[in-house]
Amino acid sequence: MSDTFDVIVIGAGPAGYVAAIRAAQLGLKTAVVDAFVGKDGKQALGGTCLNIGCIPSKALLDSSKQFHNLTHNFASHGITAENPKIDIPTFVGRKDKIVKQFTGGVSLLFKANKVTSFFGKGKLLKGNQVEITGNDGTKQTIAATNVILASGSVPIELPFAKFDGKHIVDNAGALDFTDVPKRLGVIGAGVIGLELGSVWKRLGSDVTIIEALPEFLAVADADVAKAAAREFAKQGLTIKLNAKLSKAEVKGDEVHLTYNDKDGDHNLVVDKLLVAVGRRAYTDGLLAADTGVKIDERGRIVVDEHCHTGVDGVWAIGDAVRGPMLAHKGSEEGVAVAELIAGKPGHVNLDLVPWVIYTEPEISWVGKTEKQLKDEGVPYKTGSFPFAANGRAVAMNEGVGLVKIIAHAETDRILGVHMVGPVVSELIHEAVVAMEFKGSSEDLARIVHAHPALSEVVHEAALAVDKRAIHKSN
């Protein structure tokens, strides 16, 4: 056995690398084991999020938005350009530079905090030992008092639409198209499908999204989902609900799809197919048989409310455990576990983890939906306000969407806040703070908001809960 540590983290994604840095800050001798390989064939810290997920997708979303504004929206501002075009290698190259900047940044943070990084696949052995298998097949074993499992998640592959990396791709493949596909098929109208479908639609692709569920964005509040669906339809995104893919066959440079809905079977031919039906916990080869760590029926590591596995000194965080598969949720679990290991209090409120979809308009929410409260028999009241009545939003030419606040009918405590509109990825955090401190709609209504500002829509929605919004009839 070559090395002994206070903490070993398996996985260097947003959960793992944050846990490692916080543990090191607390004076714990810390190591991280990660096997992610970047485009240059070298170790690339940051996991799915920094390499092929959150960060690169936002880079492409922003670039594609600029191009779409130039070709569709700038004329209303008096701005015109002749024969605008986009260079896809530069478009993708910008994304790659941003990825390299941030993965390199994690490496620098490890050095600054004296975190030891091992390049290879980690496997938990009995007795809190970790076996590391390098890409060349060599093995070494290290040990620690505490091991944090942060192995993340991988895309779910359909048996009849297997990834080939060229015609049928996962989220990583859809980030690296060498040109704009004339016809793009997307399976799944969730976060990944909507975001990457939007990217290529803005650049001229004919995008068809096939969604098995009968309702659009069933996880979101119905009013927000309805408003978002209306805007996506205006943008030309074709979304087919209650439709299930049954076959995907590559013929030449085309993918021939068969899907069925209430009207029977349908055929669709596309140039590229993005399969985005969800992700599963990645625990393949992570655990030796005698570790005592348990896996549930969905393949996730079983943990308690403190992310402890029940095995002394073994913890698990991020996408590999219960709760939403969101980078920020994993990061906060990483901080909490590091602090618990150091003998400090650590806690994550899973009920108040904000969700964001970075489409145009953006979609965000936190807390309960109206349907959930109705099903639970909780008395509630709602207030909403449209961005179309907000001066800043209209001046930005983005006066679409709304903010909806749901409060308890008797106590006025805020139970859920749901948004669709410009920059709601930022606006949602006012609601998160208010709800974390058990705030009421009255609290938000009495806070002074700057004018003109998009946040005034939150203010007016809070006023509307008691039917006293100023800039709309109640």
Together in a domain, 186 and 229: yes
Would you state the pLDDT for residue 120? 97
Tell me, what CATH number does 405's domain have? 3.30.390.30
- With respect to residue 162, please indicate whether it lies within any of the assigned structural domains: no
Provide CB contacts within 8 A for 134, sequence distance 6+: 119, 120, 140
- With respect to residue 352, please indicate whether it lies within any of the assigned structural domains: no
Tell me, what CATH number does 38's domain have? 3.50.50.60
- pLDDT surpasses 70 at 184: yes
- With respect to residue 308, please indicate whether it lies within any of the assigned structural domains: yes
- pLDDT surpasses 60 at 39: yes
Together in a domain, 373 and 457: yes
Provide CB contacts within 8 A for 177, sequence distance 6+: 88, 92, 200, 272
Together in a domain, 300 and 246: no
| Both structure tokens of 108 | 């620098």
Domain stop point among 310, 342, 374:
342
- pLDDT surpasses 60 at 470: yes
| Both structure tokens of 353 | 């983890």
Active site residues: 451
Together in a domain, 262 and 389: no
3-state helix/strand/coil string of the chain: CCEEEEEEEECCCHHHHHHHHHHHHCCCCEEEEECCECCCCCECCCHHHHHHCHHHHHHHHHHHHHHHHHHHHHHHHCCCCCCCCCCHHHHHHHHHHHHHHHHHHHHHHHHHCCCEEEECEEEEECCCEEEEECCCCCEEEEEEEEEEECCCEEECCECCECCCCCCEECHHHHCCCCCCCCEEEEECCCHHHHHHHHHHHHCCCEEEEECCCCCCCCCCCHHHHHHHHHHHHHHCCEEECCCEEEEEEEECCEEEEEEEECCEEEEEEECEEEECCCEEECCCCCECCCCCCCECCCCCECCCCCCECCCCCEEECHHHCCCCCCHHHHHHHHHHHHHHHCCCCCCCCHHHCCEEECCCCEEEEEECCHHHHHHHCCCEEEEEEEHHHCHHHHHCCCCCCEEEEEEECCCCEEEEEEEEECCHHHHHHHHHHHHHCCCEHHHHHHCCCCCCCCCHHHHHHHHHHCCCCCCCCC
Tell me the mean pLDDT in the region 98-107: 97
Together in a domain, 137 and 21: yes
Domain stop point among 277, 300, 317:
277
> Cα(306)–Cα(263) distance, rounded to whole angstroms?
48
Together in a domain, 237 and 290: no
Annotated binding-site residue numbers for FAD: 58, 122, 319, 325-328
Together in a domain, 222 and 317: no
Together in a domain, 254 and 379: no
- With respect to residue 356, please indicate whether it lies within any of the assigned structural domains: no
Annotated binding-site residue numbers for NAD(+): 188-195, 211, 278
Would you state the pLDDT for residue 1? 46
Would you state the pLDDT for residue 473? 81
Higher pLDDT, 473 or 326: 326
Percentage of the chain lying above the pLDDT 70 cut: 100
- With respect to residue 314, please indicate whether it lies within any of the assigned structural domains: yes
The number of domains in the chain is 3
Across the chain, which distance is largest between two alpha carbons, in Å? 72
- With respect to residue 473, please indicate whether it lies within any of the assigned structural domains: no
Would you state the pLDDT for residue 409? 98
- With respect to residue 303, please indicate whether it lies within any of the assigned structural domains: yes
Together in a domain, 142 and 191: no
Tell me the mean pLDDT in the region 272-293: 98
Together in a domain, 181 and 94: no
- pLDDT surpasses 60 at 2: no
Would you state the pLDDT for residue 474? 72
Residue 428's pLDDT band, with cuts at 50, 70 and 90, is: very high
Tell me the mean pLDDT in the region 48-58: 97
Q: Which of 1-5, 212-216, 257-261, 405-409 has the lowest mean pLDDT?
A: 1-5
Together in a domain, 231 and 322: no
Average pLDDT, the chain: 97
Tell me the mean pLDDT in the region 444-462: 98
Range of the domain at 88: 4-154+280-342
What pTM value is reported for the model?
0.96
Would you state the pLDDT for residue 469? 97
| Both structure tokens of 441 | 């709609």
3-state helix/strand/coil string of 271-328: CEEEECCCEEECCCCCECCCCCCCECCCCCECCCCCCECCCCCEEECHHHCCCCCCHH
Annotated binding-site residue numbers: 58, 122, 188-195, 211, 278, 319, 325-328
Domain stop point among 342, 372, 388:
342
Residue 3's pLDDT band, with cuts at 50, 70 and 90, is: confident
- pLDDT surpasses 70 at 241: yes
Model confidence pLDDT, tens digit, residues 312-361: 999 999 999 999 999 999 999 999 999 999 999 999 999 999 999 999 99
Per the DSSP assignment, residues forming a β-bridge with 279 are 155
- pLDDT surpasses 60 at 136: yes
- pLDDT surpasses 60 at 101: yes
Tell me the mean pLDDT in the region 95-104: 97
> Cα(221)–Cα(14) distance, rounded to whole angstroms?
27
- With respect to residue 284, please indicate whether it lies within any of the assigned structural domains: yes
Together in a domain, 175 and 264: yes
Tell me the mean pLDDT in the region 71-85: 93
- pLDDT surpasses 90 at 287: yes
